[in-house]
Amino acid sequence: MLDTITRPTLLLDLEKMKSNIDFMVDKAHRLGVKLIPHFKTHQSKEIGNYFSDRGIEAITVSSVMMAEYFVANGWRDITVAFPFNRLETRVINDFLKQGVKVKLLVTDSDTVTFLAEHLHGTVDLFIELDTGYKRSGVSTHTFDEIKTIANEMAKSVKTNFYGLYCHPGNTYHEDSVEAIQSLWADSIKRMNQVRDGLMNLTKDLKIRMGDTPGCCVVEDMSGVDEIGPGNFVFYDLVMNYLNVCKESDIAVAVACPVVAKHEGRKEIVIHGGAVHFSKDHLFDENEQKFFGEVVILEEKGWSAIIPHAKLISISQEHGILKLSDKFFDTLKVGDVVGVLPIHSCLTANLMGKYFTFSGDQLEHM
């Protein structure tokens, strides 16, 4: 397969991916929570099938457009995990007409009123709560606001109050497994305080937590009903640096042709840049920014990360690898190297399709 690669190519190790899916399905089962996986990372109908194979029927997406793609591919229970964009109500009505069960997130009562007035059927609604990440969601500190939204839902049969949703994305900025666990414990506590406060309004609210770091490392999920992680299907260097996954769990790599060697600066130019990786980065032990790590591609996968070999700079199509003398000497122009991505969701979104080691192509929306 490798000898057919001539351009930047997104490689998918299916065995690693299946094992990542198994891990999360099994963990959810063991801890008694329902897994509603987020499909924003892979955005692929074929990869979706691997989840169906493990009994998954309800999924999460991050945009109505992505929901359209998965509805077109047969999915019938979809959460759009984004503060609902009322301009897309027509599409939601379309879904309802097709019998799709739709779950939406709201963060204000006006949107609930709007939905009650414009929907042609009933949707399930989450109130998105913010336990400290400060991206979207109503702060758990403003219970009055939450109650106003809940009261608005109660006015219409079209807006069924289903649950409380939280993406505690601040776990991505923690520096230890313990810190992630403690942040989750705090989030779950706040979510449950809100649920308790709403008990007189409705007794059956689901609590769903959304981030991969927490879903991977938290073992005590009491107080949680559903989890919606996405990134775990592939993981990436961010997850590895957080110790949320092992390096060997990372299921995607970009194959990049070597186009130039610069002996003086021990740097190599690859075809692989911002249009392939996006521009997320991490910092190494010397506080130097980098955009990916290097692996050697093999017939059925790739090697462990090569020490002292990093993608240190990218522009639109160019990538610059800084390498140890030893590794530099082993590479030549015309070779293809593997680069593990910092952020697999953005990389997959840019690359557009997946190539497996058995020579298959999998679609990306």
The structure tokens listed for 310 are: 């990093």
Is the sign of the CA dihedral 229, 230, 232, 236 positive or negative?
Answer: negative
Burial 146-168 (b: 16+ CB within 10 A, else e): bbebbebbeeeebbebbbbbbbb
Residue 29 touches a copy of itself, criterion: CB under 8 A: no
At CB < 8 A and 24+ separation, what contacts does 144-147 make?
146/194, 146/197, 146/198, 147/197, 147/198, 147/201
Site for a copy of itself in 134-153 (CB under 8 A): 134-136, 139, 142
Separation between Cα atoms, residue 261 and residue 331, nearest integer Å: 8
Residue 329 touches a copy of itself, criterion: CB under 8 A: no
Site for a copy of itself in 222-281 (CB under 8 A): 257, 259-261, 264-265, 269, 271, 274-275, 278-280
**Piece in contact with a copy of itself (CB under 8 A), picked from 3-11, 51-59, 146-154, 295-303:** 3-11
Number of residues counted as binding a copy of itself (CB under 8 A):
53
CB 316 within 8 A of CB 274: yes
Plot region of 43 (φ>0 → left; ψ -120 to 50 → alpha; else → beta): left
**Piece in contact with a copy of itself (CB under 8 A), picked from 115-123, 182-190, 321-329, 344-352:** 344-352
Please pick, from the candidates 160, 349, 353, 363, the single residue that binds a copy of itself as defined by CB under 8 A: 349
Q: Which residue in 254, 208, 256 sits closest to 234, CA to CA?
A: 254
Residue 78 touches a copy of itself, criterion: CB under 8 A: no
CB of 170 to a copy of itself, least distance (A): 12
End-to-end Cα distance, the chain: 23
CB of 293 to a copy of itself, least distance (A): 18
CA distances from 36 to 53, 56, 228, 230, 359 (A): 14, 7, 5, 9, 30
* For a copy of itself, the closer CB: 43 or 181: 43
Site for a copy of itself in 288-327 (CB under 8 A): 313, 315-318, 320
Site for a copy of itself in 110-129 (CB under 8 A): 110-111, 114
Cα angle vertex 66, ends 60, 25, to 5°?
30
Per-residue x/- track, 169-208, a copy of itself (CB under 8 A): x---------------------------------------
Please pick, from the candidates 7, 118, 189, 246, the single residue that binds a copy of itself as defined by CB under 8 A: 7
Residue 164 touches a copy of itself, criterion: CB under 8 A: no
Q: Which residue in 32, 43, 7 sits closest to 270, CA to CA?
A: 7
Contacts with a copy of itself, residue ranges (CB under 8 A): 5-7, 40, 62-65, 82-88, 90, 107-108, 110-111, 114, 134-136, 139, 142, 169, 257, 259-261, 264-265, 269, 271, 274-275, 278-280, 313, 315-318, 320, 333-334, 336, 345-346, 349-350
